[in-house]
Amino acid sequence: MTAVENVAVGRGLDALFKPRSIAIFGASEDVTKIGGRPLQFLQKYGYRGAIYPINRKGGTVQSLQAYANVADLPEAPELAVMAVPPESVLEAVKDCAARGVRAAVILSSGFSEMGEAGNRLQAEIGQVARSSGMRVVGPNCLGSIGVADKSIATFSVALESAFPTPGHVGIVSQSGNLGSYTMRLAVDRGIGISRLLTTGNECDVDIADGIASLATDPATSVILCCMETCRDAGKLVRALAMAREAGKPIVVLKVGVSDAGSEAAASHTGALAGSDAVFDVVLRNGGAIRVPSIEQLLDVGHAVSVVGTARAPKGNRAALVTASGGFGVLMADAASAQGLDLPKLSARTQERILSALPYASPGNPVDMTAQVSSRPELLVQVLSAVAEDPACDAVILQSAYAFQMPRLRDVYIAALEQVRRDHPSRLILLCCKAPGDTIAQLNRLGFPTVETIDAACSTLAALVRLGTRGEPIATAAASSSTDALLQEAFANEASAKAALAQAGVPVLKEITAASRDAALAAAREIGFPLVLKIVSPDIAHKTEVGGVVVGVRSEAQLAHEYDSLLARVAQKAPQARIAGVLVAQMAQGGVELILGTKKDPVFGPVVMVGLGGIFAEVLREVALQIAPLTEAQATQMLRSLKAFPLLDGARGRAKADVAAAARAVAALSQFAARHADVVAEIDINPLVVMDQGQGAFALDALLVPETKGKP
């Protein structure tokens, strides 16, 4: 992984969004062609800079003077838009670099998505970008839009009918159509747009550059991101941190969750698709809000743009208010499904509700009944009572018809205006349908609006994640010390544990014995009870060949079990090379964890920890984190497990040594990060965590070399 602090991310993209001049390569008179549309859009929507059509025939194109090449232009354009055949793109890029063009958008396709020849051509374009300093977007992209400056470098059909309203929501997407469709939906919902960037094949500018550029854009306050994969882990991590430091929430739709989706994303973008669970960790660490659909991307993005970060709830306790008992039940079910807590309202709050509406149901959900439609002014009293209840962090007000009926709409809005004045910091999310002008008015008052109950609850849950994400935990740096990881560490359990022990992962005392007499001598040194294990580079699963004996409590038993173990292994694995028998101290009691690392193709070593022993296959729950970790992060991982109460003294059990377990997890993560070039996987099964103050120990371990399985 690239060191985060050394990544230059988001540099030079102002030339995309605020250029003083634009050249169109492949400019066409035909506005239905890729080379015709950007030119048409720039003129149609009033771009004020200089526009230079480039067409080898010269003459005029769409009433503008055309030039044969970029060298003939009266000035160096700040932005070049390329809509020429793929075989002509490299020459155009070189010409632009020589002329001093600051940025280029390659709309043309036919590069890495088409195979090895296209990949080589794309790599050459990327090299020109890096050597010249010119930023290049694409190829195979839908381009970019700087809304305020009407800088249009796209052929998207989304602009044929209307241009986006300037606003504070920026959109960055690897997929062109997904990004432009998101923009179109946002515009339809009255969301103002600052910038749109689609990155395509990403020979130079990638998704992280887009995020970082929006993070530093004064006009952008919320970032919507459509992501398929990541080409540079360090840049992405840094970009997320930049947005977080700037106080700009990021809402991410990460596609490719399923195996089939991951394969499609890799095929589409020509990049390795990392594990979706690992992406989830990276986004969560970066403070991003991840959503599963375009609909939620728009719902949450809209809500965040209305609420901002200041009014995001600091807890998941929600009060539900409706005028229908049936809707209240639906809301309660949907809220529970999203992990929202529905606390009981205080006696004082319930008294106030009943004082206003004697036939109401004052619990949570609050059913105001149909009475509120005949006396809608009572809404102020009910909402004020609920908003002032300290047991709640946020309120959802559901209304089926009120905002669509002129008789009720103005009264409801007046009531909400009063509540907003009295409770400016309280989040009240509206679940309603209404005309566009009404929605815009409610949004201006600071009330986010969502149409359906499920969407309202999922949106509130996302806002809770924003409000409760807390400060980022400082990440660890990989240690620079050099522990002796020799080739022998991959040979067997004993050598693997020796290497891990040197790195700070505790192990119990053990000795590899090459004979029965040596085993007896080892037993006298270690003390009973003991465990015997076969040591062989050819046997990964020792129990399957009878290669493990536990509970050896005397020298006579040891001598017998030693001979029996070797006989069983010789019968079941006659070709296996035997390096000896491991004589190990036996752990008694404790809680077993599974601990390990695996090298993700995008983000490098990833640490996994979960409950081990007989519960591992039943619970199938693990926590993941990117290596290396601090002990604080390791502790947080352990506490995130649903099974953590087993470590924390549930049902009268002794508390386990969580601190020792966290130290072991952190040490393993450091080891994996330090040796990422040679270690592909590490498996510790189990890590036994003893009672508090008694430590945690790796009882078995396996190291898999990075070269395993490679030709």
- Domain tally, the chain: 4
Section 312-337 average pLDDT: 95
Section 31-39 average pLDDT: 96
Q: How confident is the model at residue 540 (pLDDT cuts 50, 70, 90)?
A: confident
Closest CA to 672 of 618, 615, 634: 634
What is the distance between the alpha carbons of residues 565 and 563, in angstroms, rounded to a whole number?
A: 6
Q: Is residue 424 part of a domain?
A: yes
Least confident of 371-375, 452-456, 591-595, 602-606: 371-375
For residue range 116-151, list pLDDT tens digits in order: 999 999 999 999 999 999 999 999 999 999 999 999
Based on the fold, state whether residues 203 and 71 are members of the same structural domain.
yes
Whether the bond into 139 is cis, omega within 30 of 0:
yes
Q: Tell me: pLDDT of 270 over 60.
A: no
Based on the fold, state whether residues 320 and 297 are members of the same structural domain.
no
Q: Tell me: pLDDT of 485 over 70.
A: no
Q: Residue 230's pLDDT is what? A: 92
CATH code (residue 328)? 3.40.50.261
Q: Residue 3's pLDDT is what? A: 33
Based on the fold, state whether residues 154 and 126 are members of the same structural domain.
yes
Based on the fold, state whether residues 436 and 547 are members of the same structural domain.
no
Domain that residue 664 falls in: 591-705
For residue range 615-652, list pLDDT tens digits in order: 555 556 789 999 999 999 999 999 999 889 989 988 77
Closest CA to 240 of 280, 288, 281: 288
Q: Is residue 524 part of a domain?
A: yes
Q: Residue 643's pLDDT is what? A: 85
Strand pairing category for 250-254 and 222-227: parallel
What is the distance between the alpha carbons of residues 660 and 658, in angstroms, rounded to a whole number?
A: 5
To the nearest whole number, what is the mean pLDDT of the chain?
91
Handedness of CA 212, 208, 176, 122 (dihedral sign): positive
Q: Residue 134's pLDDT is what? A: 97
Q: Tell me: pLDDT of 242 over 90.
A: yes
Based on the fold, state whether residues 524 and 463 are members of the same structural domain.
no
For residue range 54-85, list pLDDT tens digits in order: 999 889 999 999 999 999 999 999 999 999 99
Section 597-611 average pLDDT: 91
For residue range 570-579, list pLDDT tens digits in order: 999 999 999 9
Based on the fold, state whether residues 327 and 407 are members of the same structural domain.
yes
What is the distance between the alpha carbons of residues 129 and 575, in angstroms, rounded to a whole number?
A: 56
Residue 313 Cα distances to 304, 308, 309, angstroms: 11, 11, 9
CATH code (residue 576)? 3.30.1490.20
Q: Residue 577's pLDDT is what? A: 92
The answer to whether 418 and 446 are in contact (CB under 8 A) is: no
Q: Is residue 501 part of a domain?
A: no
Domain boundary pick from 284, 306, 328: 306
For residue range 427-477, list pLDDT tens digits in order: 999 999 999 999 999 999 999 999 999 999 999 999 999 999 877 766 666
* Six-digit token string for 593: 């964890």
Residue 172 Cα distances to 47, 126, 229, 305, 337, angstroms: 22, 20, 13, 16, 30
Q: Tell me: pLDDT of 685 over 70.
A: yes
How many CA atoms within 13 Å lie on the side-chain side of 399? 24
Q: Residue 6's pLDDT is what? A: 36
Domain boundary pick from 467, 493, 522: 467
For residue range 364-377, list pLDDT tens digits in order: 999 998 877 777 77
Q: Residue 696: CB partners within 8 Å, gap ≥ 6?
A: 506, 590, 657, 660, 661, 663, 664, 687, 688, 689, 690
Gyration radius of the chain's alpha carbons: 31
CATH code (residue 610)? 3.30.470.20
Q: Residue 314's pLDDT is what? A: 94
Residue 434 Cα distances to 401, 430, 452, 690, angstroms: 8, 11, 12, 60
Q: Residue 613's pLDDT is what? A: 62
What is the distance between the alpha carbons of residues 265 and 228, in angstroms, rounded to a whole number?
A: 6
CATH code (residue 21)? 3.40.50.720
The answer to whether 191 and 169 are in contact (CB under 8 A) is: yes
Based on the fold, state whether residues 445 and 527 are members of the same structural domain.
no
Q: Is residue 420 part of a domain?
A: yes
Based on the fold, state whether residues 258 and 324 are members of the same structural domain.
no
Q: Residue 7's pLDDT is what? A: 39
What is the distance between the alpha carbons of residues 482 and 634, in angstroms, rounded to a whole number?
A: 22
Q: Is residue 483 part of a domain?
A: no
Return phi, psi of residue 110, to 5°.
105, 35
| Count of CB atoms situated within 10 Å of the CB of 510 | 21
How many CA atoms within 13 Å lie on the side-chain side of 520? 10
What is the distance between the alpha carbons of residues 178 and 194, in angstroms, rounded to a whole number?
A: 17
Q: Is residue 499 part of a domain?
A: no
The answer to whether 685 and 478 are in contact (CB under 8 A) is: no
What is the distance between the alpha carbons of residues 452 and 251, in angstroms, rounded to a whole number?
A: 20
Q: Residue 537's pLDDT is what? A: 87
Domain boundary pick from 567, 585, 603: 585
Q: Residue 4's pLDDT is what? A: 34
Q: Tell me: pLDDT of 677 over 50.
A: yes
User: At 567, which amino acid appears?
Assistant: A
The answer to whether 226 and 173 are in contact (CB under 8 A) is: yes
Find tokens 């030693």 and name the residue.
Answer: 562
Section 349-361 average pLDDT: 93
Find tokens 């929600």 and name the residue.
Answer: 318
Q: Residue 711's pLDDT is what? A: 46
Based on the fold, state whether residues 235 and 352 are members of the same structural domain.
no
Based on the fold, state whether residues 173 and 317 are members of the same structural domain.
no
Q: Residue 476's pLDDT is what? A: 67
Section 24-34 average pLDDT: 96
Closest CA to 627 of 496, 476, 473, 474: 476
Percent of the chain exceeding pLDDT 90 equals: 77
Q: Is residue 503 part of a domain?
A: no
Share of the chain residues as helix, strand and coil, in percent rounded to the nearest 5: 40, 20, 40
Q: Residue 2's pLDDT is what? A: 35
Based on the fold, state whether residues 216 and 291 are members of the same structural domain.
yes
**pTM above 0.85?**
yes
Return phi, psi of residue 637, to 5°.
-60, -50
* Six-digit token string for 23: 């050249």
Q: How confident is the model at residue 215 (pLDDT cuts 50, 70, 90)?
A: very high
Host H or E run for residue 311: none
Based on the fold, state whether residues 573 and 641 are members of the same structural domain.
no
Q: Is residue 495 part of a domain?
A: no
Q: How confident is the model at residue 407 (pLDDT cuts 50, 70, 90)?
A: confident
Q: Residue 614's pLDDT is what? A: 54
Q: How confident is the model at residue 710 (pLDDT cuts 50, 70, 90)?
A: low
For residue range 503-522, list pLDDT tens digits in order: 999 999 999 999 999 999 99
Of 271 and 479, the one with more pLDDT = 479
Whether the bond into 74 is cis, omega within 30 of 0:
no
The answer to whether 403 and 357 are in contact (CB under 8 A) is: no
For residue range 273-313, list pLDDT tens digits in order: 458 889 999 999 999 999 999 999 999 999 999 998 889 99
